[in-house]
């Protein structure tokens, strides 16, 4: 199953991220693909805003992962852009984060494949006119449910 959403501006990307929270469980895994500047970090910021987190949200380009606590939930935000090889996930102990009961959002998951577990939702963002188009693919039952409820609520 595969659904696209048109995001007219940055606010729409933030609102879409916040809307995702409604259908997320506490160990949801979401992979975010798209070029530099597509809006992966903006979407992540929207998710964190939806969870009530008010602080700064930047791509963890050098640290590769940034942990957040909000609404008694743990969220790990990964940016694997600078990962040299998938094996570094093992060396750097990053694999353990995926075993935690936590929401996990990953920018540049391609860099970590095939050593990453499958996501619940794979989101690809592309530039479309002056905005963005986000295409979501459900890869688990939870992801599928989430897509259905987003389709019904996010217009």
Interface with Mg ion (CB under 5 A): 40-41, 59, 107
DSSP-assigned states of every residue in 12-34: HHHHHHHHHGGG--TT-EEEEE-
Binding site for ligand ADP (CB under 6 A): 7, 9-10, 12-13, 34, 36-42, 59, 107, 131-132
Q: Which lies closer to ligand ADP via its Cβ, residue 40 or residue 73?
A: 40
Query: Rounded to whole angstroms, how far apart are CA atoms 101 and 32?
Result: 19
Instruction: Tell me how far, at minimum, the Cβ of 9 lies from ligand ADP, in Å.
Output: 5
Query: Which is nearer to ligand ADP, 123 or 147 (by Cβ)?
Result: 123
Q: Which helix (DSSP H) or strand (DSSP E) does residue 46 occupy?
A: helix 40-50
Q: How far is the CB of 131 from ligand ADP (least distance, A)?
A: 4
Closest CB 81 distance from Mg ion, rounded Å:
8
User: How far does Cα 148 stand from its chain's mean position?
Assistant: 18
Q: Are 117 and 95 in contact (CB under 8 A)?
A: no
């Amino acid at each position: 199953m595969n659904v696209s959403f048109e995001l007219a501006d940055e606010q729409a990307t933030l609102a879409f991220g916040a809307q995702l929270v409604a259908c997320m469980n506490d160990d949801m895994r979401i992979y975010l693909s798209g070029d530099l500047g597509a809006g992966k970090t903006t979407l992540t910021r929207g998710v964190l805003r939806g969870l009530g987190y008010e602080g700064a949200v930047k791509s963890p380009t050098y640290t590769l992962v940034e942990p957040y606590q909000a609404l008694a939930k743990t969220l790990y935000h990964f940016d694997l852009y600078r990962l040299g090889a998938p094996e570094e996930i093992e060396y750097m102990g990053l694999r353990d984060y995926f075993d935690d009961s936590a929401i996990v959002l990953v920018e540049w998951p391609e860099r970590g494949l095939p050593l990453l577990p499958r996501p619940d939702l794979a989101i690809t963002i592309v530039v479309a006119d002056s905005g963005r188009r986000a295409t979501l693919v459900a890869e688990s039952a939870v992801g599928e449910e989430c897509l259905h409820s987003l389709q019904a609520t996010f217009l």
